[in-house]
């Protein structure tokens, strides 16, 4: 049974008073944002399904477009590689790791009874790549401990509010709708210049190019499967009726079909000319279309073509360069975006605003060359007395040492 939006909004408003987590902040809308909201927006929500920004068909591209699947899968698997560290600040102002048994560390390692840490980040990145938004529901398990559950963005509606910016969220399931307060949802989204209440899907600009590649594959498949064009055309002196055509085909196949009749000379008294048919340049443009589609998806998702299986000009050197470029220009900004969302939204809602999280990128092989260059630069500055030991240690979030304020050479 579908629950009315008005009743759900009243339920959201009633739950906000008693279920707000410690440290949660009500964000008030600015006057311009309130002026942009229509009365219908506050009841129907923004972003879910249909003609909204989170179109359900975006999810099908991962199942139908090889280039989109490859780019999204690579980004999702890459985000799971660096471990996520939880830090606290001690009495001396130094940042230290929290113990593994801390509630936040346990939650981020085992997010719910069915999802692992990698499952959560894989689902989050896939949702961001397909819909430009991701939602985590903060639920309470049987033991009362918090759990994180990723929700499909194309089923989530954001309910705006003129005073508090967001009144709540509604998950529109196939059977019923579920209401969430702002404190029960972690909302991650790519900035959308046309609608601030909805994320901008990378597929929005790349959809036409992905469709072109998909249609090119369909054309090629049907051309080879159905022999959409005959190999040659026989021109006769006079028009032949259906019976004469069937008799001609039967005699032709009897004489020339099969390996035993290969290269046998053909004689047809009624035929005056033979035209060989081939594919025109326009017909074979689907190959260039596939390449262009791959390039567009590569640009949209920030994944070099080499990493999507295009090894036409691949060498060992440029493959390594492509990996470093992918990490520097795509993955590192993405994980920084995720870190900010967790530090700004998740930790305060869990009641731990004093903690911070950070992805440990030092374990990534493609970035270790940058780390080696950084060490060499720091060593040279230490040898010349430009930096001190403690200055370098502070940059690396390490505790200072008593002898570290003198020149590095000493």
Determine the longest span between alpha carbons in the chain, in angstroms. 106
Residue 243 has, within 13 A of its CA and on its CB side, a CA count of 0
Is the CB of residue 224 less than 8 Å from the CB of residue 266? no
The CA distance from 98 to 327, in Å, is: 27
Sheet strands side by side (includes 165-172):
156-161, 165-172, 177-180
Q: How do residues 186-233 score in pLDDT, each as one tens digit?
A: 999 999 988 888 889 998 888 777 777 666 666 666 655 655 455 666
Alpha helices in 110-202 (DSSP H): 117-131
Q: How far apart are CA 389 and CA 379, in angstroms?
A: 10
Closest by Cα among 164, 156, 132, 199 to 33 = 164
Predicted confidence at residue 38, as pLDDT, reads 59
- How far apart are the C-alpha atoms of 265 and 275, rounded to whole Å? 17
Per-residue pLDDT of the chain (410 residues; tens, 9 = 90+): 345 555 665 655 566 554 444 444 444 566 676 666 655 555 556 766 545 778 888 888 888 888 899 999 999 999 999 999 999 988 777 788 888 889 999 999 999 999 999 999 999 999 999 999 999 999 998 888 999 999 999 999 998 887 788 889 999 888 889 999 999 999 999 999 888 888 899 988 887 777 776 666 666 666 556 554 556 667 777 777 888 878 877 887 787 777 777 667 776 666 766 666 555 545 556 666 677 778 888 899 999 988 887 777 767 677 888 888 999 999 999 999 999 999 999 999 999 999 999 999 888 887 776 666 777 777 888 887 888 888 888 777 677 888 878 764 44
For residue 344, the SS3 value is helix
Locus of tokens 């229509």: 38
**Closest Cα to residue 152, out of 175, 119, 127?**
127
Global pTM reads: 0.72
DSSP-based helix, strand, coil % in the chain, nearest 5: 50, 15, 35
Q: Output the pLDDT for position 41.
A: 53
Return all residues near 217 (Cβ < 8 A) that are at least 6 apart: 66, 286, 290
State the first-to-last Cα distance of the chain, in angstroms, to the nearest integer: 77
DSSP character at residue 343: I
pLDDT tens-digit profile of 100-121? 889 999 999 999 999 999 999 9
What are the angstrom distances between the C-alpha of 231 and each of 93, 270, 271, 277? 79, 19, 16, 5
Q: Using an 8 Å Cβ cutoff, are 44 and 50 in contact?
A: no
pLDDT at 2: 43
Closest by CA to 231, choosing from 167, 295, 276, is 276
Q: Would you state the structure tokens that stand for residue 138, as one six-digit string?
A: 């903060």
- pLDDT confidence of residue 368: 72
């Amino acid at each position: 049974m579908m629950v009315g939006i008005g009743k759900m909004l009243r339920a959201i408003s009633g739950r906000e008073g008693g279920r707000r987590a410690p440290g949660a902040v009500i964000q008030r809308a600015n006057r311009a944002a309130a002026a942009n909201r229509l009365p219908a927006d506050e009841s129907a929500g923004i972003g879910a399904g249909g003609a909204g920004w989170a179109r359900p068909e975006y999810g099908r591209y991962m199942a139908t477009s090889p280039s989109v699947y490859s780019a999204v899968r690579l980004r999702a698997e890459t985000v799971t590689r660096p471990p996520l560290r939880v830090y606290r600040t001690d009495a001396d102002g130094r940042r230290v790791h929290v113990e593994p048994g801390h509630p936040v560390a346990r939650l981020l390692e085992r997010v719910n009874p069915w999802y692992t840490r990698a499952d959560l980040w894989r689902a989050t990145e896939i949702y961001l790549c397909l819909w430009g938004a991701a939602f985590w529901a903060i639920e309470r398990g049987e033991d009362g401990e918090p759990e994180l559950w990723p929700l499909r963005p194309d089923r989530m509606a954001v309910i705006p509010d003129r005073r508090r910016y967001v009144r709540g969220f509604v998950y529109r399931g196939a059977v019923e709708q579920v209401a969430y307060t702002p404190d029960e949802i972690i909302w991650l989204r790519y900035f959308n210049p046309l609608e601030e209440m909805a994320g901008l899907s990378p597929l929005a600009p790349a959809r036409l190019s992905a469709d072109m590649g998909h249609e090119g594959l369909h054309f090629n498949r049907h051309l080879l499967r159905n022999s959409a064009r005959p190999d040659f055309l026989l021109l006769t002196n006079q028009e032949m009726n259906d019976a004469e055509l069937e008799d001609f085909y039967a005699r032709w196949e009897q004489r020339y079909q099969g390996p035993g009749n290969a290269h046998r000379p053909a004689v047809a008294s009624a035929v005056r000319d033979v035209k060989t048919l081939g594919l025109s340049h326009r017909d074979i443009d689907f190959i260039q279309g596939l390449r262009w589609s791959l390039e567009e998806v590569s640009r949209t998702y920030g994944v070099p073509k080499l990493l999507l299986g295009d090894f036409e000009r691949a060498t060992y050197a440029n493959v390594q360069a492509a990996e470093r470029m992918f990490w520097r220009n795509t993955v590192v900004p993405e994980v920084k975006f995720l870190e900010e969302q967790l530090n700004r939204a998740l930790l305060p809602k869990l009641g731990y605003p004093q903690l911070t999280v950070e992805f440990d990128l030092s374990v990534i092989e493609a970035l270790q060359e940058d780390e080696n260059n950084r060490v060499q630069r720091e060593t040279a500055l230490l040898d010349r007395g430009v930096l001190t030991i403690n200055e370098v240690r502070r940059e690396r979030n390490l505790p200072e040492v008593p002898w570290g304020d003198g020149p590095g050479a000493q």
